[in-house]
Amino acid sequence: MKRFFVILMVLVMLLSLSACQTYLFGKYTNEDGSVEYTFQSNNFTLARDGLDFEGTYLIKKGEITFTFEDESQETFSYAREGTATIIGGEYFNRAE
Provide the CATH number for the domain around residue 57.
Answer: 2.40.128.290
The parent domain of residue 51 ranges over 24-94
Instruction: Quote the number of domains for the chain.
Output: 1
Question: What does the pLDDT read at residue 4?
Answer: 75
State the first-to-last Cα distance of the chain, in angstroms, to the nearest integer: 44
Query: Which is higher by pLDDT, 7 or 21?
Result: 7
Look at residue 56 and tell me if it is in a domain.
Answer: yes
SS3 8: helix
Q: Tens digits of per-residue pLDDT, 20-73?
A: 456 788 999 999 999 999 999 899 999 999 999 999 999 998 999 999 999 999
Question: What does the pLDDT read at residue 39?
Answer: 94
